[in-house]
Chain A
Amino acid sequence: GAVVSQHPSRVICKSGTSVKIECRSLDFQATTMFWYRQFPKQSLMLMATSNEGSKATYEQGVEKDKFLINHASLTLSTLTVTSAHPEDSSFYICSAREGTGGIYGYTFGSGTRLTVV
């Protein structure tokens, strides 16, 4: 089946530094990738949608200059949290989809636990 690898699984960084999270589709070409964040005991909140070769579309309230998303190839998308602060500490999850329509399957990465100290 389709596999999405997300790396790193855990990261601790100092306040003010930047952190990059990678999301790779291992056995399929991901036309579209999605990034979510999940606070403890809460649901997944969609942050942005990225299509290969295009600028990401951010959800309302998500700062695009803080959460930089790059989807330069059909198998790799990255999320960079710039100038991280403790309030950015969260669980970040990526999802990849092979096509652009709703009938295609979605594959989730295993998530990245970010702690900003």
Chain B
Amino acid sequence: AQSVTQPDIHITVSEGASLELRCNYSYGATPYLFWYVQSPGQGLQLLLKYFSGDTLVQGIKGFEAEFKRSQSSFNLRKPSVHWSDAAEYFCVYSNSNSGYALNFGKGTSLLVTP
């Protein structure tokens, strides 16, 4: 069955430092991949998505992700983290088998220290 794995449950970075959140997918064909962020009181927000084409995807708030087929990865990156980036981040996939429903990874909780 297709799934996404987020190996890191928690990550702590200093404000201004770079960030990389890992996501690995398992599927025979290329799935549709997304990164969502969930902040307390602000609901779910789409950061970026990948369907096909250019493997480096730019998103909102300075985030980007790179689809690497050889590594089955879709890691999220940001060059300089701001305190307001502290939140829960979900790697998400969808495919035709599930009616294109979004299926969420377990999430990575990001803590930003001063």
Chain A residues in the interface with B (C-beta under 8 A): 32, 34, 36, 42-46, 49, 57, 93, 95, 97, 100-106, 108-111
Could you list 7 A-B pairs, sorted by A, with CB under 8 Å? Answer: A32-B100, A43-B90, A43-B104, A49-B101, A97-B100, A102-B95, A105-B46
A102→B32 contact, CB < 8 A? yes
Interchain CA distance A4-B69 in the complex, whole Å: 34
Whether A44 touches B43, Cβ cut-off 8 Å, given contacts A102-B32, A102-B51, A103-B51, is no
In the complex, which of the residues B43, B103, B105, B106 contacts A108, with contact meaning CB atoms closer than 8 Å? B43
Chain B residues with Cβ under 8 A from A43's Cβ? 90, 104-107
Whether A102 touches B100, Cβ cut-off 8 Å, given contacts A108-B44, A110-B43, A111-B43, is yes
B96→A102 contact, CB < 8 A? yes
Question: Nearest CB to that of A111 among chain B residues?
Answer: B43
Interchain CA distance A93-B45 in the complex, whole Å: 13
In the complex, which of the residues A32, A45, A105 contacts B99, with contact meaning CB atoms closer than 8 Å? A32
In the complex, which of the residues B43, B95, B102, B105 contacts A106, with contact meaning CB atoms closer than 8 Å? B102
Judge whether B24 is part of the interface by a CB distance below 8 angstroms. Answer: no
- Shortest B21–chain A CB gap in Å is 14
B90→A57 contact, CB < 8 A? no
Report, nearest first, the 4 A-B pairs whose CB atoms are least far apart. Answer: A102-B100, A44-B104, A108-B44, A43-B104
- Shortest A68–chain B CB gap in Å is 19
Chain A residues with Cβ under 8 A from B101's Cβ? 34, 46, 49
A100→B44 contact, CB < 8 A? no
Interchain CA distance A101-B100 in the complex, whole Å: 7
- Shortest B94–chain A CB gap in Å is 5
A102→B103 contact, CB < 8 A? no
- Shortest B22–chain A CB gap in Å is 15
B102→A95 contact, CB < 8 A? yes
User: Please, what's the 1-or-0 string for B86-113, where 1 marks a CB less than 8 Å from any CB in chain A?
Assistant: 0000100011101111111111000000
Interchain CA distance A44-B44 in the complex, whole Å: 10
Interchain CA distance A102-B9 in the complex, whole Å: 28
